[in-house]
Amino acid sequence: MKKYNGYLIDLDGTMYRGTECIAEARDFVKELHRKGIPYLFVTNNSSRTPAQVAEKLQSFGVPATAEHVFTTSQATANYIFERKPDASVYVIGEEGIRTALEEKGFTFAKEDADFVVMGIDRSITYEKLAIACLAVRNGATFISTNADIAIPTERGLLPGNGSLTAVVAVSTQVQPIFIGKPEKVIMEQALKVLGIPREETLMIGDYYDTDIMAGMNAGIDTLLVHTGVTTKELLKQYEKQPTYTVDSLREWMDRI
């Protein structure tokens, strides 16, 4: 049986569901930590900083520091930095994406920005969308942290960043570059941070359309855990199956 030397792990639906910790996942990560096997949490959440995410994981007893968290906001900031280190950006989004862009030293601009970046923004306004449209029409490169169409909440499924992004995409008729899962952009960067070769790394997640497809798109073996979105029933509909499936991460403990 193949052993993996590094793990990329999804958060929502894999490590917790909303405010509820998934105990088997916590125990699994504790075991990785005990054995000194590198792991990195990879999330499409652009609203929180790595430190904020780590704090939540710690509160569940999961061994995690900010360095164990890789967000789509960090991937977005890296992506822009690789192309134009002195870029000006116009950003729609919350603390996570703003902090990630600030840390790279980008300047902030409006209609004349080099890049327009959209992440989930629950304080969205028409004026913010208007500036984004004007900047994209002026030639800014249009980037969106992730294409998630909905966010699960206790009220039901609320609009995700992919649906907010549609305002600018539809109005300008320019399609954004998406960074988050299932795109391989975030996965390639996460592999670099993890520091383990692709073929020795396993991607773990609960959602076929983002986590598993991201792994496949990046040529990484995948493990689907049925603790979140993609049930066994749903999984049957997909032609290309994950490398492995488990009901909970308890089943993977002896594979570490």
Q: Which stretch binds a second copy (CB under 8 A): 6-14, 37-45, 77-85, 130-138?
A: 130-138
Locus of tokens 């998934």: 22
The yes-or-no answer on residue 10 being catalytic is yes
Give the residue, chosen from 5, 52, 88, 163, that forms a contact with a second copy under the rule CB under 8 A: 163
Total residues binding a second copy (CB under 8 A): 31
Task: Indicate whether 51 belongs to the interface with a second copy (CB under 8 A).
Answer: no
Task: Indicate whether 162 belongs to the interface with a second copy (CB under 8 A).
Answer: yes
Q: For residue 221, say whether it is annotated as part of any ligand binding site.
A: no
Taking the C-alpha atoms of residue 136 and residue 81, their distance in angstroms, rounded to an integer, is: 19
Task: Write a three-state SS string for the chain.
Answer: CCCCCEEEECCECCCEECCEECHHHHHHHHHHHHHCCCEEEEECCCCCCHHHHHHHHHHCCCCCCHHHEEEHHHHHHHHHHHHCCCCEEEEECCHHHHHHHHHCCCEECCCCCCEEEECCCCCCCHHHHHHHHHHHHCCCEEEECCCCCEEEECCEEEECHHHHHHHHHHHHCCCCEECCCCCHHHHHHHHHHHCCCHHHEEEEECCHHHHHHHHHHCCCEEEEECCCCCCHHHHCCCCCCCCEEECCHHHHHHHC
The yes-or-no answer on residue 211 being catalytic is no
Give the residue, chosen from 5, 55, 88, 124, that forms a contact with a second copy under the rule CB under 8 A: 124
Q: How far is the CB of 117 from a second copy (least distance, A)?
A: 17
Ranges within 173-192 binding a second copy (CB under 8 A): 173
Pick between residue 63 and residue 159 the one whose CB is nearest to a second copy: 159
Give the residue, chosen from 21, 149, 174, 256, that forms a contact with a second copy under the rule CB under 8 A: 149
Q: How far is the CB of 224 from a second copy (least distance, A)?
A: 23
Task: Indicate whether 155 belongs to the interface with a second copy (CB under 8 A).
Answer: yes
Task: Indicate whether 237 belongs to the interface with a second copy (CB under 8 A).
Answer: no
Give the residue, chosen from 10, 114, 121, 206, that forms a contact with a second copy under the rule CB under 8 A: 121
Task: Indicate whether 19 belongs to the interface with a second copy (CB under 8 A).
Answer: no
Q: For residue 121, say whether it is annotated as part of any ligand binding site.
A: no
Two tokens, residue 117: 């970046």
Q: For residue 110, say whether it is annotated as part of any ligand binding site.
A: no
C-beta separation of 7 from 31 below 8 A? no
Q: Which stretch binds a second copy (CB under 8 A): 35-43, 100-108, 159-167, 179-187?
A: 159-167
Q: How far is the CB of 99 from a second copy (least distance, A)?
A: 20
Residues making up the annotated binding site for Mg(2+) are 10, 12, 206
Residues making up the annotated binding site for substrate are 181
List the catalytic residues.
Answer: 10, 12
**Site residues (CB under 8 A) for a second copy?**
111, 121-126, 129-130, 133-134, 137, 149-150, 155-160, 162-164, 166-173
